[in-house]
């Protein structure tokens, strides 16, 4: 069987006065090299995307991180300038893709901005500038460092026993590279918390009623997916779920993969 294809929603970027639809290479590299998949970049459009037509042509969805944030109006809050930058075209693309992928039992892995989009798509809210809250660490990237140092594995999260991610990386303490200034505030009703940081910040979730792999992580497993064991295992599990889904499309009578079988 040929490699399955996953969709990755793009961000809008401006270079020399020209608008580009872009995805960071670290996500594509991890999908190809660590998960064994091929990638279709979905243009970020505020209207005009046919979500079901896109999902008809792929076997999984990877929702990447980004420098932009989900617009607060999408979870019932007023936007402040400090909450930005925003990318309304990315919001309009990712959130419907997330909802329909879950509805159609298409495997999904959501990373950084992706876990925040997953929470908002299912009715949750986000907290901004979490480092200003009492008792919460500064999870932001270190200033003025190279990318390897920026994405260094330096923080512990605690994976809940019996969770979906525990069956992939094991329960208990896992060292990760988490870089963010926003986080889940109110968890969407359909999400189960899978892992938290030492300060209580939610670092991983899964979709409770999903009929396929549907996991979100706040950290960046894509960056070290070829060398770090937990990162590699997470992408490998996603890749396996995507291959199972692709095989099921070729055999319509096959039973959909459930999260519990990760």
Total residues belonging to the chain: 262
Tally Cβ neighbours within 10 Å of residue 259: 21
> Catalytic one among 117, 194, 203, 222?
222
Specify the DSSP element, H or E, that contains 39.
strand 38-42
Task: Give yes or no: 164 in active site.
Answer: no
Identify whether the C-beta of residue 149 lies closer than 8 Å to the C-beta of residue 141: no
Annotated catalytic residue 71? no
Per the residue annotation, which of 46, 161, 220, 250 is the catalytic one?
Answer: 220
Cα–Cα distance list, 233 to 169, 196, 228, 257, 259 (Å): 6, 19, 9, 18, 15
The upper half-sphere exposure of residue 259, i.e. CA atoms within 13 Å in the direction of its Cβ, equals 23
Cα–Cα distance measured from residue 43 to residue 206, given in angstroms and rounded to the nearest whole number:
26
Find tokens 């090299």 and name the residue.
Answer: 33
Q: Which of 71, 112, 117, 203 is catalytic?
A: 112
Is 222 annotated as catalytic?
A: yes
For residue 44, the SS3 value is: coil
Tell me the CB-side half-sphere exposure of residue 60, using CA atoms within 13 A: 35
Q: How many CA atoms lie within 13 A of 32 on its CB side?
A: 9
Active centre residues (catalytic): 112, 220, 222
């Amino acid at each position: 069987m040929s490699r399955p294809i996953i969709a990755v929603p793009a961000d809008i970027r401006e270079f020399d006065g020209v608008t580009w639809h872009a995805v960071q290479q670290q996500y594509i590299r991890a999908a190809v090299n660590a998960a064994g998949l091929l990638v279709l970049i979905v243009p970020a459009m505020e209207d005009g995307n046919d979500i079901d037509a896109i999902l008809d042509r792929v076997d999984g969805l990877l929702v990447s991180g980004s420098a932009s944030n989900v617009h607060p109006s999408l979870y019932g809050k007023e936007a402040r300038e400090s909450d930005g930058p925003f990318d309304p075209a990315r919001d309009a693309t990712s959130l419907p893709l997330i909802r329909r992928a879950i509805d159609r039992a298409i495997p999904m892995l959501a990373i950084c901005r992706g876990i925040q989009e997953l929470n908002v798509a299912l009715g949750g809210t986000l907290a901004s500038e979490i480092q200003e809250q009492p008792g919460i660490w500064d999870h932001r990237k270190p200033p003025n460092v190279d990318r390897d140092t920026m994405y260094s594995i330096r923080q512990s999260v605690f994976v809940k026993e019996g969770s979906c991610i525990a069956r992939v990386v094991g329960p208990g303490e896992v060292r990760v590279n988490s870089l963010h200034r926003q986080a889940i505030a109110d968890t969407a009703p359909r999400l189960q918390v899978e892992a938290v940081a030492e300060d209580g910040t939610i670092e991983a979730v899964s979709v409770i009623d999903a009929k396929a792999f549907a996991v979100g992580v706040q950290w960046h497993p894509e960056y070290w997916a070829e060398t770090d064991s937990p990162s590699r295992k997470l992408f490998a599990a996603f890749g396996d779920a995507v291959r199972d889904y692709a095989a099921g499309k070729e055999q319509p009578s096959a039973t959909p993969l459930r999260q519990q079988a990760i």
